[in-house]
Amino acid sequence: MDIRKFGRLPAGAMIAAAALVVLAAALGWRFVGQDGWTWSNDDGEPVAMSTPLTLEEMREAAEASPDDPVAWQQLGFAYFSRNMFAEAAEAYDTATRFEPESAELWSALGEARVMASEDDPLPEAALVAFRRSVAIDAGNPRARYFLAVEKDLAANHEGAIADWLALLADTPPDAPWERDLVRTIEQVGELRGIEVASRIETASSTRNILPMQPGMTVPGPTTEQMAAAASLSPGQQQDMAEEMVARLAARLEDNPQNVDGWIMLMRSYVTLGRTGQARDALERATVANPQSGPQLHSAAQALGL
């Protein structure tokens, strides 16, 4: 994300916008990132990549499968990573037509519309997309972040900080956007004379997502990994996703007490359209972690299981 477009904003809004650099990288991919994976093998080394597709090839692939939201999403990310924001918005908009219940697609569309705007730091069309995203998934981090930016731009600085703190409380420890989110809260708080240090500490200490367990990768991919993944064909992307889900399931067989991992596996199965296996994962997780039954069932309910 190019934060120079925010130079004409009030200082508080410019600070908030700067943190979107990491948020954009961490939240913008359907399979890689949404479920908290990095793209690596069991030894932590990057997986070998196929020869990347050119932008023109990706466009041709999307047009050859006009009703495939994955192909249009890949194209949207490819455009976005090249700072072609208007084209990214167009591709994401097409993807939402064929997958209208994807919170990730709507939030990606909203961000692309923000970046494509020449004269409005948060255009109404972007807000419509972010609101649609949270209507589908109230926890979508990117949409929540931008909707808090809306409050900050409207001079509701306390409301914005409160929303960012709520997002921090829901952010997995060591998530890629955590540091920049905290920095945003600190800087806007300092600029507006709002005490935030103790509130950041409270939000960080009362998270409802467990830390990643030994043997699990740190949440979120790098920008380079996502850019490389965006160049894969839909079939290659599907194969990659299936491989990572299988690897996660195998790790949970060895470490069934990893509640956060079971939630990740359920979400992954739902993303792949395998609701039967998601329900089976819920059952196995509950048997292995009866004390965490309410947390597991709450997550399952949010996934529509």
Q: What's the pLDDT tens digit per position in 162-181?
A: 999 998 888 777 666 788 88
Q: Give the single-character DSSP code of 213.
A: P
Sorted by where each starts, the structural domains of the chain and their CATH numbers stand as 3-205 (1.25.40.10), 223-302 (1.25.40)
137: confidence class by pLDDT, cuts 50, 70, 90: confident
Q: Are 253 and 285 in contact (CB under 8 A)?
A: no
235: confidence class by pLDDT, cuts 50, 70, 90: low
Which of the pair, 158 or 274, is modelled with greater confidence? Answer: 158
Please report the pLDDT score of residue 15 as a whole number: 45
Cα distance between residue 266 and residue 269, in whole Å: 5
Answering whether pTM is above 0.75, one says: no
Please report the pLDDT score of residue 134 as a whole number: 92
| Lowest-confidence segment of 138-142, 161-165, 242-246 by average pLDDT | 242-246
Instruction: Residue 216: count other Cβ atoms within 10 Å of its Cβ.
Output: 19
For residue 96, pLDDT over 70 is answered with yes
CA angle 147, 151, 154 (to 5 degrees): 135
Please report the pLDDT score of residue 250 as a whole number: 83
User: What residue has token string 């997309």?
Assistant: 129
Please report the pLDDT score of residue 6 as a whole number: 39
Mean pLDDT of the chain: 74
Cα distance between residue 65 and residue 90, in whole Å: 16
Average pLDDT over residues 229-256: 70
Which of the pair, 53 or 95, is modelled with greater confidence? Answer: 95
DSSP string for residues in 75-120: HHHHHHHTT-HHHHHHHHHHHHHH-TT-HHHHHHHHHHHHHH-SS-
Q: Are 234 and 68 in contact (CB under 8 A)?
A: yes
Please report the pLDDT score of residue 231 as a whole number: 54
Please report the pLDDT score of residue 236 as a whole number: 57
For residue 66, pLDDT over 70 is answered with yes
Q: pLDDT digit string (tens) for 115-127? A: 999 888 899 999 9
